[in-house]
Structure 1
Amino acid sequence: MKKLLTLTLLTIGLSGNALAEGVAYDPYEGYNRFMFGVNDRIDRHFLSPVARGYRAVTPRPVRSGIGNFFNNLRDIVSVGSNLLRLNISKAGSDLVRVGINTTFGFGGLIDIASEAQMPNNKNTLGDTFASWGWKNSNYFVYPLLGPSTVRDALGNTITSVYSPEKLAFGNGAGYWAATGVKTLDTRANLLDLTDGVNQVALDRYTFIRDAYMAARAKQIGTTLPGSEDDYVPSFEEEGGNTGNEAAAATEQPSAEPVTTTQPPADSVVNSTTSAADTPADNTNSGRPAPNTIYEEILSR
């Protein structure tokens, strides 16, 4: 999990009515609300206070180095994901990033590749599944990790079994220590963003769910799922273009099908680019825009 924020509610089509009606992609709401409550209590009573202490006592350069180290390991996941998508160019670029940062960046503590403006193709196994046709997936709250989808939860579970952290630290105490530091550093980086969410006068579960799903749909270049239950196009459909056809039929600007003005859907995984290309709207000054928040979270 590892920048997962400026559009307003209107920009992504999440008005008050949309928030109330957009439940087609949450058929497991009973479980999801329960797990959301569990995760929230753990975060409020343990993880968030510890993260605040960590941020207070750890110098910014040290935190930057820790973040760079784990981002370098994420590039290894991106290599495998892009290979599975047969995107040899991006896989090669990711591999070069890992090589440069590991060799000349003291094991990845310094992000030399980004300083050299090398492409950053961060993506996950969930992005690979989406590029294979599993674009629409129902909302799912992952224990401890929070907002996800069935598709992405499956991808994250597989990745956790074969994680680069295990490659670097083995399966013993070193791995669990590294996982703890990674979790703490990620949570500390998101404190300001999540504090903003907590100030929004809406049902927090609904707000977070719809914000996450809108940002994730934009990332993979599709629309929010409708009544389909984890719909995967059949091989009889031409090119599995159901997501793009649905996008063409909607008037939501953020759900437009991928055209020549955007990368193809199977490459829209770098949310930093998407957020940067989005015009800011200051009408909700002081209130974080929901999909902007989760574009930031998803890219971490």
Structure 2
Amino acid sequence: MALACAGQVLAEENSQDPYEGFNRSMFAVNEAIDKYAAKPVAQVYDNAVPLPVKAGVGNFFGNVGDLWIGVNSALQGKFSDAGVDIGRLLINSTVGIFGLFDVASELGLEKHDEDFGQTLAVWGVGSGGYLFWPVIGPRNVRDTAGFGVDSFVDPVWRVERVSVRNSMVALRFVDVRASLLPADKVVEEAALDKYAYIRDAYQQRRRNQIFDGRPPRLDD
């Protein structure tokens, strides 16, 4: 009986992560990149840059993304949310001085988190197998395709001057990595298998995002 239950659990894990061998190899590559490059730079940035400046950087890039968030809200049929997203963009781009200050949140306009991967899920596209990509991080097949669309329409990637574009991309990456530094210790202490911990956390988070925090109950 115990062997049968264990076999069933293993089969379920394999169905969620059919490319586990590839993923663990890519995870190891990512860990090396993070250890020797991304994390040290993020730590220097976090320690050297004043908090108001870091807040302004995060607000600026968040404002840049609000237009595409609004488009995805509309594509998912959430037109009220889309109106809020566009309202945030207009207010923060003007009163908030090009998004450096999040005035819209102070006025009660909630920031949403929508991307094309979530839109595909709402349209009924299956998730496909789990994937882990260096630098990009955890995705599934559907979200990898969605990430490609998100990147294609991203205003930062559309900046024509290469030096400015690359600087903005690098700054955003470092800012995001710095924001994750507090979570590093939690993951290290909680995870016997860091790869599996991140995979499961990603899948649970994406499910909550797709269902706006109200996912249907899974069958036992």
| Aligned equivalents of 2:127, 2:48: Cα separation in 1 | 42
| Aligned equivalents of 1:177, 1:204: Cα separation in 2 | 31
1:68 corresponds to: 59
Q: Is the 8 A contact 2:69 2:85 kept in 1?
A: yes
- Please show how residues 2-81 of structure 1 align to structure 2 within 5 Å: 22-81=13-72
| Aligned equivalents of 2:180, 2:99: Cα separation in 1 | 21
Structure-2 change in CA distance of 1:162 and 1:171 (3 Å): farther
The match for 1:115 among 106, 109, 113 is 106
* Structure 1: gaps spanning 5 or more residues: 1-16, 223-242, 252-300
The match for 2:155 among 152, 155, 164 is 164
| Aligned equivalents of 1:31, 1:103: Cα separation in 2 | 46
1:95 corresponds to: 86
Identity of matched residues, %: 37
Deviation at 1:18, TM superposition (A): 6.4
Q: Is the 8 A contact 1:76 1:164 kept in 2?
A: no
Deviation at 1:190, TM superposition (A): 0.5
The match for 2:192 among 188, 196, 202 is 202
Q: Is the 8 A contact 1:51 1:185 kept in 2?
A: yes
Q: Does 1:191 align with 2:164?
A: no
Deviation at 1:50, TM superposition (A): 0.8
Deviation at 1:159, TM superposition (A): 1.4
Question: As a proportion of its length, which structure holds more helix?
Answer: 2
Write the deviation string for residues 105-137 of structure 1: whole angstroms up to 9, x where unpaired: 110000000111113222000110011012543
Deviation at 1:173, TM superposition (A): 1.3
Deviation at 1:21, TM superposition (A): 5.4
SS in 1 for 2:190: coil
Q: Is the 8 A contact 2:60 2:101 kept in 1?
A: yes
Deviation at 1:22, TM superposition (A): 2.6
* Structure 2: gaps spanning 5 or more residues: 1-7
Deviation at 1:80, TM superposition (A): 1.9
TM-score by length of 1: 0.65
> Which sits farther off after the overlay, 40-49 or 75-84?
75-84
Deviation at 1:143, TM superposition (A): 2.9
Write the deviation string for residues 129-185 of structure 1: whole angstroms up to 9, x where unpaired: 011012543211123111111111111111112212134x33511111001000001
Question: With CA pairs under 8 Å and 6+ residues apart, which has the higher RCO, 1 or 2?
Answer: 1
Q: Does 1:173 align with 2:153?
A: no
Structure-2 change in CA distance of 1:205 and 1:106 (3 Å): same
| Aligned equivalents of 2:78, 2:37: Cα separation in 1 | 41
Amino acid at match of 1:215: R
Structure-2 change in CA distance of 1:141 and 1:201 (3 Å): closer
| Aligned equivalents of 2:211, 2:96: Cα separation in 1 | 33
What root-mean-square deviation, in Å, do the aligned CA atoms of Structure 1 and Structure 2 show? Answer: 2.2
Q: Is the 8 A contact 2:65 2:154 kept in 1?
A: no
Q: Does 1:139 align with 2:127?
A: no
Q: Is the 8 A contact 1:19 1:210 kept in 2?
A: no
| Aligned equivalents of 1:137, 1:147: Cα separation in 2 | 13
- Could you list the runs of 4 or more consecutive aligned residues of structure 1 that deviate by over 6 angstroms after TM superposition? 17-20
| Aligned equivalents of 2:190, 2:15: Cα separation in 1 | 23
